[in-house]
Structure 1
Amino acid sequence: MNVFYNKWYKNHALVYKILLFIVTTLFIVYLFPKTGKFRYSFEKGKPWQSENLYAPFNFAIKKSKEELDKEKSEIKGQSLVYFEINTEIKEEVLSDYLTRFNQVFKDSSNFSIENSDLYKKGKAIVNSLYSSGILDSDYNYADDRAVKLATANKVEKEIQYGSLFELSNLRQRVESDMGNSIPIDVKKRIVSVFFDVIKPNIKLNASLTEKALEEELSRISLTRGRVEKDQLIISKGQVIEEAQYDILSSLKSEYESQVWNSANYNWVLIAYTLLVALALLMLLLFLSKYRKEVFINNTKVTFIFFNIALMILLSTLVINFNSQYIYVVPLCILPLVLKAFFDARLGLFTHVLTVLLLGFVVPNSYEYMFLQIIAGMVTILTVSELYKRANLFISVGQITFIYIIAYFAFFVIHEGQLTGLKVEIFGMFILCGLATLFVQPLIYIYEKIFGLVSDVSLLELSDTNTKLLKELSNRAPGTFHHSLNVANLAEASANEIGANAMLVRVGALYHDIGKMNNPTYFTENQSTGINPHDELSSEESAKVIIDHVLNGIEIAKKYNLPDRVIDFIRTHHGTSLVYYFYMKEKAANENVDIKDFTYPGPTPFSKETAILMICDSVEAASKSLKEPTSTKINDFVENIINKQMESGQFLNADITFKEIQALKKVLKFKLANIYHLRIEYPE
């Protein structure tokens, strides 16, 4: 059992990566559509680029959405409308009419005979109105629309909607039927009678009408025609007309739905899993071969996989909502984030793999992948210093411009003309660019969650007004000044060979913070001329000097400095020798143990840490130069760096001889400027 636990402990990092790989693969496959994918791409009006296509099985030709919508619209305009009629209302209205008529005209002595005729004429109008029926509302149907009148028990009759009377026309109808022989004041009074007594007796039966419409719509056939197995659908080079397009669309629909039964469904899942696993495996192999320091750090690997899964999740959510908005997803955030925390090559490699995976789910996959890969390249090539806000805005503008240009080119290729260009797509690209600006707060969030450090954080740490650097300047002013000089030299050197200048500068500012514990034991802080080492043995003095590395690591962790900065403190002396005290002890004791005078290491393991070691040694030793000349400075720089190379300090750092020669050149030039060397004129 102990053997098992020991193996588990030794390989727990690898086991975690395997579990992360499996979980991420399954999560991405879960987001993918669970159907087959039609292997051909085609567009109406374009030539068929593939081989002759024969029907692989029998299938029906599905009607297009436009055809179905047209049929539904026609049926909705012609289906029967059901109204309910109340036959008892007419008798009630006639009774009310008589009562109301007598009330209105009982004081009209001048119209005794005429009133009798007026009453009869009004009654005739009532009978006429109710002969077909009066609607309770205006329903805006066409006059020739067929409607059925029904009582509670049965359907009475079928008529046209135009024969039903609408209350809004009551005044006009009464005045017209009364004629012009009746005085105006009498006509007004009889009209008021009608408005008081007339009631609608017909109302819409919505449930019967809806049921009838549904029955009609259910009879619509979703297909028209059929294609038999082995029938030629389209030949190579043939232009895809509307008929062929409908057949191809129907075949594609069959492939992506009905064809895939439960057995095929499992095979589709297996195939998706293999492809996604292959893509993620390529990423792990890239990390293990070219980014070893990232690969061995499980937090960093988790961070990369998390961002891939997040981008795929956002894209699939947008596609499920409406695939037209796919270009709103700011996919270029992925290479920006990875470049901010790691490097450009890793950012681009991961971005390309993510785009390839998204090609399974997006429409027009080739066009989408081309646009996103080009945009990712532009992102990597244009964003140089993310901590400068202007650079980010400029880069976002360039990315948006590339999106627009590429989409415009694809549209012209597909359509062959500019008419029909969708301006709203350009708006989506602009929204995508604006969303990309969210990368700044996102980087801050990632720093807090994953404990990573970006150039933005390095910029904050480079501020000499931070609490730790202020304390260094107060307690060890000479060391602080030395750190500033080293930072300037290291930054110039990093720029010369293409290293991370901001990271080197921050590492240089903090590399000697361990000297705060015993500042007077270091010559740059001895302003009184008293040397505390005079009271110590050589071995004790060497221990004090060596301990400033360990003390610096403890202080850095106390102040929560990032691990990338602590690496500079840990490696800036490598495994070099405290030469002065070693030689002093050796002069007195031949049996001196060299380990007591050697820094614990490790040696530098990156260009940046190697640059700091070189610049720190050169700057510190340059203080001993007396009457410096160009020749002295050149020999001085050569000797220091050559000794470091001979002692194997750069064996683990990915720095080349060519780059070291470039560093020598920069340091010689900088030191010559520091010491203000002038041309020696003859006397």
Structure 2
Amino acid sequence: MDKLQKHLGKLRNLLEITFFRVLLYLILGFVLFTAMYSNVKPEKLDLRKLEVAEQTVRSPITVEDKDSTERKRKEALEEVNDVYSLNREIAQNRIDLTTSIFQSAIEVIDETKETYEKADVTESPILSIQERVEILKRKLTDNETKELTNQTFIALVQAKKGELTIAKDITITAINEVMSKKISASDVVLAKNQLEEQIKSSSLNSSLKSSAIELGRYAVVQNVFYDQEATETLRQQTIEGIEPVRILQGQIIVEEGKFVDQHIYRQLELVGVLDSKNAIQPFIGLTLVILIVLSAIYYFFYEQRIPTEAKQSNLLLFSIIFILAIVIMKIVSLFQQFDYAEIGYVFPAAMGALLIKILMDEKLSILYTIIIAICGSTIFNQGTAGTFNMAVGIYILCSGIAGILILSRQNHRSKILKAGLLVSLVNIVVILALMFLQNGQYSGLDYGLYILVALVSGISSSVLTIGLLPFFEASFGILSTMRLIELSNPNHPLLRKILTETPGTYHHSVMVANLADAACEAIGANGLLARVGCYYHDIGKTKRPQFFIENQMNIENPHDRLPPQTSANIIVAHATDGAEMLKKHRMPKEIIDIAEQHHGTTLLKFFYHKANKNGKEAKEEDYRYPGPRAQTKEAAIVGIADSVEAAVRSMSQPTAEQIESLIRNIISDRLQDGQLNECDLTLKELDIVAHSFIETLKGIFHSRIEYPKNDKVEGEK
């Protein structure tokens, strides 16, 4: 394991070089392309025109059949009739024309009457019939004089004025009634005959009736004409109303044993199952998807505000987990060839999300879940018509997100198995939802099988997570729960060293551990880390144990004979000495940090004031710990607990009020001295920490009953 850790350390160092980071992304891209290549590769079919199909072929895509659409539109256009519009103005114009003819005849009669009156003629008229006809013709246009017969004009000029008025009304009424209907070119004769029949039934005299009929027939003309604009509009509406003919994804183009005619063969070409030579579009699409995935991963790590070393370590760890998940997914997908359509649901979808959530970052685990869902929907696409199996993709996404949310609520690694069981329940709900949405016909056995694979997926996710966690934690130097438990064993060489050489310090460390553990748990920090850190935080005191008061059993205090500066240097050195000793024994960095940071840059007030009393003006920085200040919640709480335990132990029979006042004063001093400025403890959390210290110390320093002495026994003694 040490060798592996060294190799991984070298890899992390290489990732600081841009070339190797690019190489890692290329490896990820290559793994993704290799895993999904066979799933996007178009299926090659040996189908020939005018032969029987040896297998059922479904369309892999949805595409428009433009030839069929065009043929359907042509057939629809052939059924579209030309549009003929009724021109109502023609009827009115013909009525006006007929009225004008009758009115002109009446005017001729009126003019003839005036001529009689002026000439005082009683025997024969001055104007002959022919002359009156000529006068009437002059009032009309050439069209009327040519189209109408002379007998009609004679009948009009010979009739009385009242008869003409009646004839006019009858004729106009007949014209209006006939021409209010559509009259095409072929219907003109029929319309004229209808008008003639209407006038024949009138009470006009024969000559005037004949004239009215001729005038009416002359007036009736075609009033319906071809409307090109309306016809084009109708044709356009017909074309737009025709839905494009589409070959839908999953649609059966040809069934096994059916004859492949020209139409079917053309559809097979259209969906691309025959043209396998130039089918590079799926591979271009896959490459673009992989580029999007790699860009998202790069952007996430680029935006991370963490030290470069930790960033490269996270990138390497993420890549290993991601590749491992893809390999497992590909192995599981191989069973699809045995017609196990539901095999994709067996994949431990939450495994990678749980590992990344525990080892790295929750946001990164969400990004991983989205990416692995996309990959899964492609890798498990066998048996589906398209490139993506959306049901499996949704299942993987929901399972991974559920694992992240459930584990975040538990917040303990010991609850991983329980989280896996809850993920299994979520998997079952998701699968049932997908089955019901598809509205398929499933048997009880089908439902049982799907529920079984959902349980296997959730439980295997938690089991694999538990199994892989120690490997990743040890390989990448991540401090695990198991490692912390091992370090807390009293038989550990360093703890035995503290116990045998500095028993007072060991007892002090255990007391501080109890305080820090309870306080960290109260605010949601890592209590076990704080406890183990406390066991080792004063390991540096084993170098000069007699210079620390808890180890001065029945001996003189050596500081009474030393200058304040020397004493301060000895006391201050225990933090740096402890860190060096822990580094030499390859202890985890978190433990070393607690030992180095638990005093921060605090001031040794006793020796500082002692130096000032001697008459010399001491520099404050000479009596401060070198630091650094606490960087984490655990280190800060250990430092406060260390001061609190030492201060309370020095009190004689402390009361609860005295303990509370002392604790809050120590925390206030740390705040004012800026010792908590570099960790993310809030004021609310500090109040909770103070309350936890108070409750713990009350239990230790509670008042006890003073038992009465037995005088008889004492006397005998």
Q: TM-score under structure 1 normalisation?
A: 0.63
For the structure 1 residues 373 and 61, does the alpha-carbon distance in structure 2 shift closer, same or farther, using more than 3 Å as the test?
Answer: closer
1:27 equivalenced with 2:53 (yes/no): no
> Given that residues 24 and 309 in structure 1 are in contact (C-alpha distance below 8 angstroms), is that contact kept between their aligned partners in structure 2?
no
1:302 maps to 2:304: no
Decide which moves more: 511-520 or 14-23: 14-23
Task: Identify the match of residue 329 of structure 1 among 311, 333, 347.
Answer: 347
**Corresponding residue number in structure 1 for 2:471:** 445
Supply the RMSD in Å over aligned alpha carbons. Answer: 4.2
Could you tell me whether the CA contact under 8 Å between 1:351 and 1:376 is conserved in 2?
A: yes
1:572 Cα deviation after fit: 0.8
Q: Is the counterpart of residue 373 in structure 1 residue 391 in structure 2?
A: no
Matches within 5 A, 1:504-543: 504-543=530-569
- Name which of 326, 330, 343 aligns with 1:312: 326
Partner in structure 2 of residue 568 of structure 1: 594
What secondary structure sits across from 1:299 in the alignment?
A: helix
Rounded to whole Å, the distance in 1 between the matches of 2:29 and 2:404 is 29
User: 1:348 offset after TM fit, Å?
Assistant: 4.5
Match of 1:410 among 409, 430, 434: 434
| Cα distance in structure 1, aligned partners of 2:676 and 2:245 | 62
User: Residue 628 in 1 paired to residue 658 in 2?
Assistant: no
- Consecutive unaligned residues of structure 1, counting only runs of 5 or more, are 1-9, 39-58, 69-214
Equivalent pairs, count: 493
Partner of 1:191: none
1:612 to 634, 638, 657: 638
d(CA) in 1 for partners of 2:354, 2:649: 42
343 and 536 in structure 1: CA distance in 2 versus 1, 3 angstrom threshold: farther
2:610 partner letter: K
Q: Larger deviation: 401-410 or 221-230? A: 221-230
Q: Is the 8 A contact 1:359 1:365 kept in 2?
A: yes
Deviation string, structure 1 residues 392-438 (Cα, Å, up to 9, x no partner): 44333222232223212211221255437254343433443453313
Q: What CA distance in whole angstroms lies between the structure 2 residues aligned with 1:385 and 1:625?
A: 38
1:114 corresponds to:
none
Pick which of 304-313 and 372-381 moved more.
372-381
State how far apart, in whole Å, the 2-side matches of 1:362 and 1:22 are.
24
C-alpha distance in 2, partners of 1:550/1:14?
33
Paired letter, 2:614: A
Instruction: Give the structure 2 partner of residue 428 of structure 1.
Output: 453
Equivalent residues of 1:35, 1:260 under 8 A apart: no
State whether residues 573 and 599 of structure 1, in contact with CA within 8 Å, keep that contact through their aligned partners in structure 2. yes
Contact 1:630 / 1:677 at 8 angstroms: preserved in 2?
Answer: no
| Cα separation, 1, equivalents of 2:596 and 2:19 | 28
Matched, 1:477 2:503: yes
Q: In structure 2, do the counterparts of structure 1 residues 219 and 349 end up closer, same or farther at CA, with 3 Å as the change threshold?
A: closer
Quote how far apart the aligned CAs of 1:275 are.
Answer: 0.8
Separation in structure 2 between the aligned mates of residue 616 and residue 24 of structure 1, nearest angstrom = 49
Deviation of 1:225 after TM superposition, in Å, equals 12
Evaluate the alpha carbon distance shift between residue 238 and residue 356 of structure 1 in structure 2; reply closer, same or farther with a 3 A threshold.
Answer: closer
Q: What is the aligned partner in structure 1 of residue 686 from structure 2?
A: 660
Does the 8 A contact of 2:56 with 2:252 survive in 1? no
Q: 1:265 to 1:344 in 2, by over 3 A?
A: closer
1:341 aligns with 2:355: no
1:189-246 CA distance string (max 9 Å, x none): xxxxxxxxxxxxxxxxxxxxxxxxxx9xx97566889984364598899999965898
Match of 1:172? none
Mapping of 1:258-273 within 5 angstroms? Answer: 258=275, 261=278, 264=281, 267-268=284-285, 270-273=287-290
Tell me the distance in 2 between the aligned counterparts of 1:477 and 1:283: 49
Task: Give 1:649's aligned residue.
Answer: 675
Show CA shifts across 1:520-543 (max 9, x none).
211111111421222322222112
- The verdict on how the C-alpha distance between 1:17 and 1:500 changes in structure 2, with shifts beyond 3 A counting, is farther
What is the CA deviation profile of residues 96-150 of structure 1, one whole-angstrom value per residue up to 9, with x for unaligned ones? xxxxxxxxxxxxxxxxxxxxxxxxxxxxxxxxxxxxxxxxxxxxxxxxxxxxxxx
1:33 aligned counterpart, secondary structure: helix
Any conservation in 2 of the 1:34–1:268 contact (CA below 8 Å)? no
Deviation at 1:262, TM superposition (A): 7.2
Q: Give me the whole-angstrom Cα distance separating, in 1, the residues matched to 2:507 and 2:633.
A: 24
Aligned partner of 1:268: which letter?
G
* Secondary structure of residue in 1 paired with 2:586: coil
Q: 2 CA distance for matches of 1:435 and 1:241?
A: 33
Q: Is the 8 A contact 2:45 2:274 kept in 1?
A: no
Q: For residues 269 and 395 of structure 1, do their structure 2 counterparts lie closer, same or farther at Cα, with a shift above 3 Å needed?
A: closer
Work out the CA distance in 2 between the residues paired with 1:372 and 1:600. Answer: 51
Q: Which amino acid aligns with 1:462?
A: S
2:209 alignment counterpart: none
Q: What one-letter code is carried by the residue in structure 2 that aligns with 1:22?
A: Y
1:457 to 480, 483, 486: 483
> What is the alpha-carbon distance in structure 2 between the residues aligned to residue 62 and residue 382 of structure 1?
47
Partner SS for 2:395: helix
> Which of 383, 395, 420 is the equivalent residue of 2:419?
395
Stretch deviating more after TM superposition (619-628 or 573-582):
619-628
Map of 1:582 onto structure 2: 608
CA distance in 2, matches of 1:526, 1:237: 93
Matched-pair contact (CA < 8 Å) for 1:340–1:386: no
Note the C-alpha offset of 1:568.
1.0
Q: Does structure 2 retain, via aligned residues, the 8 Å contact 1:570–1:601?
A: yes
Give the match for residue 284 of structure 1.
301
How far does the alpha carbon of each residue in 1:318-337 deviate from its partner, in whole angstroms, 9 at most, with x for none?
Answer: 33553753333323222332
The DSSP-based 3-state class of the residue aligned with 1:504 is: helix
Give, in angstroms, the shift of residue 344 of structure 1. 5.0
**3-state DSSP class of the match of 2:36?**
coil
Contact 1:34 1:265 in 2 (8 A): no
Structure 2 CA distance for partners of 1:624 and 1:410, relative to 1, 3 Å: same
Q: What's 2:373 paired with?
A: 355
- Where 2:66 maps in the other structure, the secondary structure is coil
Over 3 Å counting, the alpha-carbon distance change for 1:372 and 1:267 in structure 2 is closer
For residues 224 and 413 of structure 1, the distance between their equivalents in structure 2, rounded to whole angstroms, comes to 25
Letter of the structure 2 residue corresponding to residue 325 of structure 1: I
CA distance in 2, matches of 1:609, 1:438: 32
Work out the CA distance in 1 between the residues paired with 2:270 and 2:650.
82
The DSSP-based 3-state class of the residue aligned with 1:274 is helix
In the alignment, is the contact (CA less than 8 A) between 1:294 and 1:301 conserved in 2?
no
Structure-2 residue corresponding to 1:180 = none
In the TM superposition, residue 567 of structure 1 has moved relative to its aligned partner by 1.5
Structure 2 CA distance for aligned equivalents of residues 513 and 412 of structure 1: 63
